[in-house]
Structure 1
Amino acid sequence: MTPRMPGRVADDRERMARAALTRILEPGDEHGGRWLREFGAEGLLALLTSEDCAAGALTGVSEDRVRGLRDRAVGVRPERDLDAVHAVGGRFVIPGDAEWPTQLDDLRDASPVGLWVRGRPDLRKWALRSVAVVGARACTPYGAHMATALGAGLAERGWVVVSGAAFGVDGSAHRGALAAGGATVAVLACGVDVAYPRGHGELIGRIVEQGLVIGELPPGGHPTPSRFVQRNRVIAALTRGTVVVEAEYRSGSLVTARAAQRLGRHTIGVPGPVTSGLSAGVHELLRGESVLVTDAAEVVELVGRIGELAPAHSGPVVPRDLLDPIGRRVLEALPARGACAVHQVAREGGTTVDEARGKLYELHSLGFVERDGEGWKLTRRRRHGSNARRGVT
């Protein structure tokens, strides 16, 4: 028996038909999306399950392709898939449901037929304030650190971290959000009841408990290379922006970023060493229309509301920064080694003898200079600092 869905708007027949179509059509199939738009879910399913009706009705593909889809349609039992997802505490969300994220409709004919979902939160509400953090599977320690920090920082600021649950950057971003007690969504290229990669079974379980796991494939669906690529378009469309942390020139993360660009979403990159091949793809993005960031606050400044500004960055304040302009000139007039008479300090500092003498006594009280007979010199501590600044060894 098909479970009733909280907040449901779409009817049971539409849900059943779309559930069946997720077993027949591949994710991102634009021909299938066009047929779905033309015939509706029930009409398209009827065409695919009736040999007489299907002949010539499904245009744009070869007869062999239609035959292959019809072969897939044989024996499809959507009620079993709906019962299977219900058994693991999940649900099937489709257009027309209150929980459907309408930004996915920007994908047009490549929009998901529906989404299989596990986890308690409302997907639509979470997606409204979400950011994707993606990157290399074989990332460096730097990449893992940055992804974890971004995941935690975004979560602490009330943003939902979306990624693909893969090894490397994806897993680090999810863990960062979970560690901060925040929200995270894993978009899978397989069934939501399948732990893939297997090494992330525990992580995916934690995400189900604390966040959401979603996918286009029905329960038991297995991942393939093309399904990973198509999964990336969902990540890009679902979120306000995509942050790439380490990516080679040929990378699925760049596919996600470019999909985000096409959809008018923010595309963001974290820089790395120019000598690292794992940062080469990110740097290529940054040479285009992407924006460079170094922390979560800068990401939020881009994707958030007006006024959510990152704090201004500055170097550490050192004691000499607190001196007035004349005091700094007098201090800089003293040689790195040896003493100097007041009149020499005045000449080098561009001030009067009386003013130079007054500033020297002020600098003496602050510990910058000391008397040496009739002259003045830098204290030992300041002399060493001056040598370092002037390149003296």
Structure 2
Amino acid sequence: MQRDDGELLARVLLSRVVEPGDATVGRWVRELGAEQVARRLREGGPRLGGVSDKRWAGLRDRAALAEPERDLALARDAGVRFVRPGDTEWPAQLDDLGDARPTGLWVRGGAGLRMWALRSVAVVGARACTEYGAHMAATIAAGLAERGWVVVSGGAYGVDGAAHRGALGARGATVAVLACGVDRPYPRGHAGLITRIAGQGLVVGELPPGEHPTPSRFLVRNRVIAALTRGTVVVEAAHRSGSLVTARAAQRLGRFVMGVPGPATSALSAGVHGLLREEAVLVTDAAEVVELVGEMGELAPERRGPVLPHDLLPPAVRHVLAAIPGGRAATAAEIARGARTTEDDAVARLYELRALGYAERHDDGWRLTRRAVICARAGRAEC
């Protein structure tokens, strides 16, 4: 047996006995060590501080029923391992959670969690998302995967599932952080997806084999998603969405928070728009996400409209072109006044415009060609 077998079994026991994110028990572990806390829960003794007699009795009852050796055996049979603080695979950024950090993580999949987490981004959002939300989540996730980033989400319906599928479709890396045992995929409709993630990526959770999800476990799970990644992208979220819990946890931890805007009238985007009014950064694609969370120099391409041929005209020629009336012919003197130049200069520019197909001579005046009028109205790049 290894010297730290006792500490391993103690942390496995605590993962069964204590609800995720319990900062009081986390403080006990920090001050006394996992083995001492497990021993006090198993063997009794004075109640540890910070809990009532009733809660202490509940923890002791659960500890009496815990079988850490059996949990480890079940995990091994399911291809699951237990990763704890201090292990080579433990992501150090989870320590930012302080006393609320996980006692350990159950991990399913062949990749190394620590290395993957170093270059990861969370993509989260509404379960009942729109087609737009699913499209944006999948597109951003695929773009991140193509750029070598790991996409982290919660495995749920809607935006989470779209993000995972986008990364997998791009043959990239993705991590699902579950609010239940990693041996029992949830939701059941995503059993195939989560199995695929375990084969191509990683499935992670705080709860031991066989544990079921609860509403509170979903919310507490979100802090792990926030801490594990460099930043969180929220695609669609209503005002009370659990995705906002992830975003606000990321803000508290000093991570980047990004939001994808939706229609101003959409209730599913109201929560995202609230984030954008506060401290979140607006993003629309993977390049903009990487510009924020990536290394110096990883810049998104500059956004601009198409360059039209008349944009390339010298300023003096553009001024004369703008002075030609749209629906009638005008004299060179009238055009010169509109362009604030001399009549001789206007005539010279008008002949340039004639050669380029923008103006034509009409008796003693000048007018725009039909092509120039159509292009001015349509803004067509080929004009």
TM range (shorter): over 0.9
Give CA deviations for 1:275-317 in whole Å, capped at 9, x if unaligned.
1111111111111121111111111111111111111111111
Larger deviation, residues 216-225 vs 37-46: 37-46
For the residue of structure 1 that corresponds to 2:175, the secondary structure is strand
In the aligned structure 2, how far is the partner of 1:206 from the partner of 1:372? 71
User: Does residue 183 of the first structure (1) align with residue 173 of the second (2)?
Assistant: yes
**CA apart distance, 1:358:** 2.4
Change (3 A) 1:268 1:336: same
Q: Which of 42, 64, 85 is the matching residue for 1:49?
A: 42
Identity %: 66
Q: Which of 9, 20, 27 is the matching residue for 1:27?
A: 20
- Please give the root-mean-square deviation of Cα atoms over the aligned residues, in Å: 1.6
Give the aligned residue type for 1:79: E
* Aligned residue in 1 for 2:315: 325
In the aligned structure 2, how far is the partner of 1:230 from the partner of 1:328? 61
1:26-175 paired onto structure 2 within 5 Å: 26-51=19-44, 53=45, 55-56=46-47, 58-175=48-165
TM-score (norm 1): 0.93
User: Does residue 241 of the first structure (1) align with residue 234 of the second (2)?
Assistant: no
**CA apart distance, 1:26:** 0.4
Q: Which of 292, 295, 298 is the matching residue for 2:285?
A: 295
For the residue of structure 1 that corresponds to 2:259, the secondary structure is strand
For the residue of structure 2 that corresponds to 1:49, the secondary structure is helix
For the residue of structure 2 that corresponds to 1:92, the secondary structure is strand
For the residue of structure 1 that corresponds to 2:354, the secondary structure is helix
1:362-381 paired onto structure 2 within 5 Å: 362-381=352-371
User: Does residue 284 of the first structure (1) align with residue 274 of the second (2)?
Assistant: yes
Q: 1:269·1:290 contact (CA, 8 Å) conserved in 2?
A: yes
Q: 1:24·1:69 contact (CA, 8 Å) conserved in 2?
A: yes
User: Does residue 305 of the first structure (1) align with residue 298 of the second (2)?
Assistant: no
For the residue of structure 2 that corresponds to 1:360, the secondary structure is helix
TM-score (norm 2): 0.95
Larger deviation, residues 75-84 vs 279-288: 75-84
Give CA deviations for 1:320-366 in whole Å, capped at 9, x if unaligned.
21111111111111111121222222221122233222222222222
Q: 1:195·1:201 contact (CA, 8 Å) conserved in 2?
A: yes
User: Does residue 193 of the first structure (1) align with residue 183 of the second (2)?
Assistant: yes
Q: 1:342·1:353 contact (CA, 8 Å) conserved in 2?
A: yes
**CA apart distance, 1:373:** 2.6
In the aligned structure 1, how far is the partner of 2:72 from the partner of 2:372? 74
**CA apart distance, 1:43:** 1.1
Give CA deviations for 1:202-224 in whole Å, capped at 9, x if unaligned.
11111111111100001111000
Structure 1: gaps (5+ residues):
5-9
Larger deviation, residues 170-179 vs 335-344: 335-344
Structure 2: gaps (5+ residues):
none
Give the aligned residue type for 1:39: L
Larger deviation, residues 356-365 vs 276-285: 356-365
